[in-house]
Amino acid sequence: YGDYNQKIDYVFKIVLIGDSAVGKSQLLARFARNEFSVESKATIGVEFQTKTLVIDNKTVKAQIWDTAGQERYRAVTSAYYRGAVGAMLVYDMTKRQSFDHMTRWLEELRGHADKNIVIMLIGNKSDLGSLRAVPTEDAEEFAQRESLFFMETSALEATNVETAFLTILTEIYRIIS
Among 22, 87, 89, 121, binds ligand GDP (CB under 6 A): 22
**Binding at 156: pick from Mg ion, ligand GDP, none (beta carbon under 5-8 Å per type):** ligand GDP
Nearer to ligand GDP, 16 or 55 (CB): 16
Handedness of CA 136, 140, 143, 146 (dihedral sign): negative
CA within 13 Å, CB half, 153:
31
- How far apart CA 51 and CA 8 sit, in angstroms, is 11
Spell out a b/e string for 74-105, using b for 16 or more CB atoms within 10 Å of the CB, else e. eebeeebbeebbbbbbbbbbbbeebbebbeeb
**Binding at 53: pick from ligand GDP, Mg ion, none (beta carbon under 5-8 Å per type):** none
- How far apart CA 52 and CA 122 sit, in angstroms, is 22
- How far apart CA 124 and CA 25 sit, in angstroms, is 11
Shortest gap between Cβ of 165 and ligand GDP (angstroms)?
14
Nearer to Mg ion, 19 or 152 (CB): 19
Among 17, 26, 81, 172, binds ligand GDP (CB under 6 A): 26
Q: Site residues for ligand GDP, window 132-171 (CB under 6 A)?
A: 154-156
- How far apart CA 67 and CA 161 sit, in angstroms, is 18
Shortest gap between Cβ of 35 and ligand GDP (angstroms)?
11
Site string for ligand GDP, 79-118 (x = CB under 6 A): ----------------------------------------
**Binding at 158: pick from ligand GDP, Mg ion, none (beta carbon under 5-8 Å per type):** none
**Binding at 98: pick from Mg ion, ligand GDP, none (beta carbon under 5-8 Å per type):** none
32, 48 Cβ separation under 8 angstroms:
no
